[in-house]
Amino acid sequence: MFKRGTAKEQGLSLEHNCPAELPSDTVRTLWMGLRNQGQNDILLRSEEDPQVFLSLYLDRRFLQHVEVPKDCLSPDEVISVHSVLRTPRRAGRHRIKVELTGPNRSVLNHLKASFSISFETKKDAPSPGAVLFDQACRLNNWFSLPSQGISWSSSGQTYPLFVRHSKGCHFTDIEGRTYLDYVMGWGCALLGHANDRIQQAVMESMTSGAISSLPHYLEMEVSGKLCEDIPCAEMVLFGKNGSDVCTAAVRLARRYTNRKKILVCGYHGWQDWYVEQQGFAHTGVPEHEEPLVYAFPFNDEKHFQSLIETHKGQIAAVMLEPAGPVEGLNGPLRDADPSFLRTLASKTRTEGAILIFDEIITGFRYPGGSVQKATGVIPDLACFGKGLSAGMPLSALVGRRDIFQSAMPHIFYGPTFKGEVYSFAAANEALNIYKEIDIPKHIWDYGNRLKSGINQLCKETGTPAELIGPPFRMLLSFKGVDDRTAVLMRTLVQQELVKQGLVTYMGVMLPSLAHNEQSLDETVVMFKHAFEVLVTAWEQNAFSKYLEIPPMTY
């Protein structure tokens, strides 16, 4: 039952993660938890106040509104919200005032709620990472960070912001701390960072300039090896990243078929043709009156068939990640289904469209080196990157000769750096290594053991999570909790892993050849600690007390 009154009278309290002492002039994530300690529901919104904020004031200066995402708090329920702020430069005592307010900052008529958070700042010298991050905020802030820019922990540890050196499955940050890496250069470092053979090949190639006036002979060597190894490859086109060759593939398909529409499944880069489906407001890319790109769920034959029927005679290409696309922050993350791929290939060709496999991730880490070789489902075109040059920037589009010869003169493709020599030297040696060593076997063996170990920990600790996905790309997925709780759990696990010296991409993990028995054992130990902290926070319903970094969301 709702009654008017003050926050204290209704049993409304504020929990937070602010310690008694903070460094001055430092970015901090303030987590706050509104808890109903009473016996009755507390109504937060009313007809007079249809929108509710926590309004923050630092030393009487207004900071920001943080919207409260609930209408009503049940007994013992907690709403966790966060605010990113910078601590004052002036050393001394400071106070954050927190009020429940409406859209115009007016205190709610039906609920007088005000709280105070006090802390003291000390003028310590900022860490090297914090100094660089301040520079990044002014000049170049377009990168991903495991702590999203928070440079320090209340325990006194620093969070990694900038890398000084990377080798094997580790990197060392600018503070000198070493981290076990499962992002691995977004999957590029398939052989590990700075693999000795790759480094040697690149150094030997540096007696030549990076860009030649004519094609370098190494480009032809790499082209030949790709055509020998990849089933669909009759001709090759190079770029510098996956987006380059995915875009080239779409242009080739449109020009070859004289059609415009593309069906997609998975992630295919950042360039205009693909992101236009997300709308102008999110991408800056103008939308067409009738969309040209349509997405279908992975392994969903029924949905795919409906798109084929709806757009019959208009589809230029079907492009998909044939195995392991990340279908959401919490999954699913599924392996290839050969039956689905065969059906998709048949229906695509019956429709007169081009089948494109995006093997940017699966290339050289899937059994046999590619999904097409493993399943026997051969596309018309295929995109490769990431592991192709083992950490150097190179991508390749391979496929049918008739498509290339017919459409290539008409797609306006000419990146200046597509013939860069050092990356071809790396790719040439990487392709040699892939013939000598069964890289996929190592990655799948390691990934399966890692998955087994972490999932056993989930059972032992009572963590409502599971490591899912094929062994070359796995995701920590949270089960049986609402979406907001899953975000809090994911964030806390990421935070606790980073504190111990392990980095994932929001729970996505990409093993490499460099990961070994020692790294496996260390990973399990660090996950055990992270899960124990998570379960404690979950049982206490007190995430706001334990969290220090912003929420992990796409």
Predicted local confidence at residue 4, as pLDDT: 47
pLDDT digits (tens, 9 = 90+) for 376-423: 999 999 999 999 999 999 999 999 999 999 999 999 999 999 999 999
Backbone angles phi, psi at 471, to 5 degrees: -60, -20
pLDDT for 7 beyond 70: no
Going by pLDDT thresholds of 50, 70 and 90, the confidence category of residue 108 is: low
Segment 443-470 mean pLDDT: 98
Q: Are 538 and 33 in contact (CB under 8 A)?
A: no
pLDDT at 355 over 60: yes
CB atoms within 10 A of CB 437: 12
Check pLDDT > 60 for residue 498. Answer: yes
Strands 72-73 and 114-122 come out as: unpaired
β-partners of residue 396 are 238, 384
List the structure tokens of 538: 């979950």
Q: What is the pLDDT of residues 77-102, one digit of tens each?
A: 999 999 999 999 999 999 999 999 88
As its CATH architecture, domain 196-436 has: 3-Layer(aba) Sandwich (3.40)
CB atoms within 10 A of CB 257: 19
- Give the pLDDT score at 2: 38
Q: How confident is the model at residue 137 (pLDDT cuts 50, 70, 90)?
A: confident
Residue 389: closest CA among 222, 215, 169: 222
Instruction: List the Cα angle 368/344/274 in 5-degree steps.
Output: 90
Burial zone of 258 (CB within 10 Å; 0-12 exposed, 13-18 middle, 19+ buried): exposed
Residues of the chain with CATH 3.90.1150.10: 132-193+439-546
Write down the pLDDT at residue 109.
61
Cα gap 467→333, rounded to integer Å: 10
The pLDDT value given to residue 6: 54
Q: Average pLDDT, stretch 148-165?
A: 89
CATH 3.90.1150.10 fits 132-193+439-546, yes or no: yes
How much is the pLDDT for 144? Answer: 86
Vertex 479 angle, CA 461 and 330, to 5°:
120
Tens digit of each residue's pLDDT (9 = 90 or more) over 40-80: 998 887 777 778 899 999 999 999 999 998 888 999 999 99
- What mean pLDDT is predicted for residues 149-177? 92
Task: Reply yes or no on whether the pLDDT at 135 is more than 60.
Answer: yes
CATH architecture of 5-122: Sandwich (2.60)
Q: Is the pLDDT of residue 3 over 80?
A: no
- C-beta of residue 314 within 8 angstroms of C-beta of residue 257: no
The pLDDT, as a whole number, for residue 51 is 84
Residue type, 200: Q
The C-alpha atoms of residue 382 and residue 393 are separated, in whole angstroms, by 18
Percent with pLDDT over 90 in the chain: 83
- In angstroms, the CA 469 to CA 335 distance is 7
| pLDDT of 241 over the 50 cut | yes
The structure tokens listed for 230 are 């990849």
| pLDDT tier, 106 (very low <50, low <70, confident <90, very high otherwise) | low
Residue ranges, comma separated, of all CATH 2.60.40.10 domains in the chain are 5-122
Query: CATH 3.40.640.10 residue ranges in the chain?
Result: 196-436
pLDDT-derived band at 113 (thresholds 50, 70, 90) equals: confident
